[in-house]
Amino acid sequence: MSGTFDPALPPPKCIVVAGPTATGKTAFAVELARRLSGEIVNADSMQVYRGMDVGTAKPDHAERKGIPHHLLDVAAPDEPFNAAVYRRLAMPVIMDICSRGKACFVVGGTGLYIRALLGGLMTAPPSDAGLRARLRAQCDALGTSRLHHRLVRLDPAYAQKVHPNDRVRIIRGLEIIQLTGQVPSQLMEDHGFTDQTVKCLKICLHVDRNRLYDRINARTETMVEKGLIRETEALLKEGYSPDLKPMKAIGYRHMIRYLNGTWTLEQATERLKRDTRRYAKRQLTWFRAEPDMIWLTPDAMGAALTRITSFLVETA
């Protein structure tokens, strides 16, 4: 499989199917891929991890309906994984799919991964071990929210996109400011994410808010019934620390607090529903800021097929 793109040839094309959690992206994309002889490249930052299936709503073999899925289960929970790693892995996969004459669907709700894939990565300084250790110590002593307040004062535009409990991104933002004297939001604006190696059509699924919240609540109940507790317990028994980034993700951090006796199962489940609803709201805010997004409901299969077919056959 070649990971190089020939500038003399037209850029490969891909179709993005994005949207907030629980909007039905997987089923929608699988049906599109089935009808258009396509393959799917995962763009969910949690579904890349092995052993994290129930809590990430990773599609099982039945849900995939024979459609090849790529970039699922490519990392252990304790392996470093970020947008740069994702882009490095995804590019040769996209090239391979397109070279075989297949339609390529990039599917997921991690807006940063999709943006990095389609527009490149901004230049930022490498992490500084000493500075990061000091920031982590401050986070432990003062709490994540205090550092988030600091980020709000220094870079309100960036802080608005970072959840007050997102320790990793808060520390990285403060680290960039201290190392460069520049704020992350300005670096992002200067970069512009315009390094477009592939040509894409971007579709975002959306549903009515009340319906979306109902779907989130129902899916949370299903995850618990399907074994989210057992899955979390198994990861802990394998030696994966609760402090790892994926173990702090929605679902797993909630079940950890149930398992260690901090919350009852009812409390963990209700807070998981609440935090997932909040996450969906942040995803929606992100995708609304993305240019050239086509907004469709999950039942608009005909409209999607029309737009995608035109996109795939156009030569310009």
The correct answer on CATH 3.40.50.300 for the domain covering 13-122+192-313 is yes
Asked if 301 contacts 31 with a C-beta cutoff of 8 angstroms, the reply is yes
Domain with CATH 3.40.50.300 in the chain: 13-122+192-313
What distance in Å separates the CA atoms of residue 143 and residue 49, rounded to the nearest whole number?
Answer: 27
pLDDT at 1: 45
**pLDDT per residue as tens, the chain (316 positions):** 444 555 556 789 999 999 999 999 999 999 999 999 999 999 999 999 999 999 999 999 999 999 999 999 999 999 999 999 999 999 999 999 999 999 999 999 999 999 999 987 766 667 788 898 899 899 889 999 899 999 999 999 888 878 787 888 899 889 889 888 888 887 766 644 555 688 999 999 999 999 999 999 999 999 999 999 999 999 999 999 999 999 999 999 999 999 999 999 999 999 999 999 999 999 999 999 998 999 999 999 999 999 999 999 986 4
Domain with CATH 1.10.20.140 in the chain: 129-191
The correct answer on CATH 1.10.20.140 for the domain covering 129-191 is yes
